[in-house]
């Protein structure tokens, strides 16, 4: 069984699909949590304090990190395998589009952009929040409580350069999801003329909801920074 999952093309695609599904569910959860900051900054900080360095949050963090690593490693393995067998095509697509979407031809590149954005995000937030709690610090480098996530959001997205970087990162996630979600289902057998357009539509809708959910937080807090009276939390 282990050899099947690690060595065979079908096994690798199954692991990619399962890890991808897990990461999509996390994105939906994280997006929902972030949106809370728009409506109630106190509520968002309560969520941050609830998660913090508690054992369940630490277990979830380790599982999430493992999911990201597994997904990235298997993405590289599948890409190299498929490029060797079929050129630059990542998956053996049984239903063809008229013209291949740019994202489907550049999933590995988009994936690395997503990972770079994730590393920056971990520094901006995880390093200054959960890690500081684990280290026993009552304040981070900015003088905030590690549970004061709203202050970090407010200060970060008052800077146009970070707003642009994060919006580009979210756009990369959108491209990744528009192809990744439907190909995830395709890898486990939903690959026919009936389900293909449905899965593409579901992928586009899901990717767009996630993109807008994250992006609206950046935009709202930037607007607050230049016009505090425009948005009242």
Chain segment 25-68, per-residue pLDDT in tens: 899 999 999 999 999 999 999 999 998 888 888 898 899 899 88
Scan for tokens 């486990």, then name that residue. 188
Give the mean pLDDT of 88-110: 56
Does residue 17 fall inside a structural domain? yes
Phi, psi of 8 (to 5 degrees): -80, 150
CA distance 182 to 203: 6
Chain segment 150-172, per-residue pLDDT in tens: 999 999 999 999 999 999 999 99
Phi/psi region, residue 100 (left: phi>0; alpha: psi -120 to 50; beta: rest), is beta
Q: Is the dihedral of CA 165, 152, 30, 51 positive or negative?
A: positive
CA distance 78 to 184: 13
- We report the CATH number of the domain holding residue 194 as 1.20.1300.10
Chain segment 180-225, per-residue pLDDT in tens: 777 777 766 666 677 777 888 888 999 999 999 999 999 999 999 9
Question: Residue 120 has what pLDDT?
Answer: 95
Q: What percent of the chain has a predicted confidence (pLDDT) above 90?
A: 43
CA distance 130 to 143: 15
Phi, psi of 25 (to 5 degrees): -60, -40
Does residue 63 fall inside a structural domain? yes
Domain that holds residue 165: 2-226
CA distance 121 to 217: 14
How would residue 90 be classed by pLDDT, with cut points 50, 70 and 90?
very low
How would residue 178 be classed by pLDDT, with cut points 50, 70 and 90?
confident
Per residue, the 3-state secondary structure of 36-105, as one string, reads: HHHHCHHHHHHHHHHHCCCHHHHHHHHHHHHHHHHHHHHHHHHHHHHHHHHCCCCCCCCCCCCCCCHHHH
Asked if residues 57 and 30 have their Cβ atoms less than 8 Å apart, the reply is no
Does residue 15 fall inside a structural domain? yes
- With a CB cutoff of 8 Å and minimum separation 6, the contacts of 37 are 43, 44, 149, 150, 153, 217, 221, 233
Does residue 102 fall inside a structural domain? yes
CA distance 143 to 65: 27
Domain count, the chain: 1
Does residue 232 fall inside a structural domain? no
Question: Residue 91 has what pLDDT?
Answer: 45
Does residue 233 fall inside a structural domain? no
Does residue 207 fall inside a structural domain? yes
Statement: residue 89 has pLDDT above 60: no
Does residue 231 fall inside a structural domain? no
Which of 191, 148, 202, 159 has the alpha carbon at shortest distance from 21? 202
């Amino acid at each position: 069984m282990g050899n099947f999952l690690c060595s065979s093309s079908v096994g690798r695609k199954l692991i990619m699909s399962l890890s991808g599904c897990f990461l999509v569910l996390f994105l939906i959860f994280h997006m929902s949590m972030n949106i809370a900051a728009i409506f109630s900054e106190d509520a968002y900080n309560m969520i941050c304090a609830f998660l913090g360095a508690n054992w369940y949050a630490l277990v979830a963090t380790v599982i999430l990190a493992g999911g990201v690593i597994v997904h990235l490693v298997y993405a590289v393995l599948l890409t190299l395998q498929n490029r060797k067998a079929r050129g630059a095509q990542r998956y053996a697509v049984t239903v063809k589009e008229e013209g291949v979407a740019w994202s489907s031809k550049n999933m590995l590149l988009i994936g690395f952009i997503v990972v770079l954005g994730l590393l920056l995000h971990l520094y901006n937030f995880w390093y200054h929040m959960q890690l500081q709690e684990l280290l026993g610090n009552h304040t981070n480098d900015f003088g905030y409580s590690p549970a004061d996530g709203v202050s970090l959001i407010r200060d970060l997205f008052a800077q146009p350069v970070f707003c642009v970087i994060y919006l580009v990162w979210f756009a990369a996630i959108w491209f990744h999801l528009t192809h990744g979600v439907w190909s995830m289902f395709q890898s486990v057998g939903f690959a026919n003329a009936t389900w293909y357009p449905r899965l593409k539509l579901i992928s586009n809708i899901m990717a767009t909801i996630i993109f807008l959910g994250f992006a609206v937080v950046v935009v709202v807090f930037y607007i607050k920074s230049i016009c505090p009276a425009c948005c009242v939390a």
